[in-house]
Amino acid sequence: MSRRVHPAVVPAQPFHLATREAGDGPVLTTDEGREWVETAVSRYPQKKAALLPLLSYVQSKRGWVTPGDMADAADALDLTPAFVHSVATFYTMYNRRPVGRHLIQVCTNIACFLNRGEEVLERFLEETGTHEGEMSACGNFTVLEQECLGACGFATVVHVNEKCFENVTPEGVGAIVQALRDDAAAYPNGAARAVEGGD
């Protein structure tokens, strides 16, 4: 599966499309990374402006952003690591710890809350056997509580990777999780973390 992007557009991959090819190695300080930083910086009047694309790039290669990546980004853009840290924590879509192959985001904001969103979240945590924000032992699941996923007409809203599930009830959660378990091969980009023996 490949996504065509215009060469002028920074390939800001969402986490679920991350190749994770970087593993634990450096991203921004490799030859490819350096070249990429140069391209990104050249597109903006200020170096600082390239920070979000840089973090997105890191996430597309690793699946999450490490403190080391933040320091590298700061180095590349003449910023302080602390500033990069503040930006990376401000935007919730940058993962600051590894996430499972299936990233499940449950909205508990007002509309979803009124439609048992918190129960849905509880059920997801039970079904996957994780705490909020942590990765399940097998590397398959991470469940996050989100403030609003922008589909309040269809509360409760759940995002699983790039797919949106609407009108989710606590009773329907088991089926979704089971489908994800059965369909591990549906997300080839996440295959770097192979499913081994289920949860």
Partner 1 sequence: MAAEASTTATKAPPAPDTVSLTIDGVGVSVPVGTSVIEAAQRTGVVVPRYCYHPGIPTRPAQCRVCLVEVEGRPKLEPSCTLEAQDGMVVHTASDTANDARQAVIEFLLVNHPLDCPICDAAGQCMLQDYAWVTGQLKSRLDEPKQVMGRDRVADDILYFADRCIICTRCVRFMRDVADNDSLIVAQRGHKAYIDTFPGQDLDNPFQGNIVDICPVGALVHEDFLFKARAWDMDPAQSICPGCPTGCNVTIDTKENEIVRLKPRWNPDVNSYWMCDYGRKRLVMSQRGVRSETPLVRGEADLRQARWGEALDWLADRLRALGSAGGRAIVSADSSNEDLFYLGLLLKRLGVDSTMFTVETGPTAALPGVPKLKLRADRAANGAGAEMLGARRVSRGDLNGANGGGVLIVLDDALEGADQFWGADADLFIYLGTRRPEAARSADAVLPTANFAEMDGTFANWEGRVQKFAQALAPPGAARPAWMVLSRLLARLDDTEQAVNTAETAFDRMAGEADAFQGMTWSGLGPKGAIAPGAPASAEPAGPAAPVANNGRPGS
Kindly state the smallest distance separating residue 30's Cβ from partner 1, in Å.
Answer: 19
Residue with Cβ nearer partner 1 (60 or 109): 109
Q: Which of residues 123-182 bind partner 1 (CB under 8 A)?
A: 147
Helix (H, G, I), strand (E, B) or coil at 104: strand
Residue 75 binds partner 1 (CB under 8 A): yes
What order do you get walking across the sheet with 141-146 strand by strand? Answer: 141-146, 102-107, 158-160, 163-165
Helix (H, G, I), strand (E, B) or coil at 157: coil
Residue with Cβ nearer partner 1 (88 or 176): 88
Q: Which of 33, 27, 77 is nearest to 52 (CA)?
A: 77
Spatial separation of the C-alpha atoms in residues 7 and 177, rounded to whole Å: 37
Residue 89 binds partner 1 (CB under 8 A): yes
Kindly state the smallest distance separating residue 87's Cβ from partner 1, in Å.
Answer: 9
Token pair for 193: 């973390």
DSSP single-letter state for residue 135? B
Spatial separation of the C-alpha atoms in residues 162 and 82, rounded to whole Å: 30
**C-alpha 7, offset from chain centre:** 23
Residue 46 binds partner 1 (CB under 8 A): no
Binds partner 1 (CB under 8 A): choice among 1, 4, 45, 78? 78
User: Of 55-63, 67-75, 122-130, 169-177, which segment contacts partner 1 by CB under 8 A?
Assistant: 67-75
Residue 61 binds partner 1 (CB under 8 A): no
Residue 79 binds partner 1 (CB under 8 A): yes
Binding site for partner 1 (CB under 8 A): 67, 70-71, 74-75, 78-86, 89-90, 147
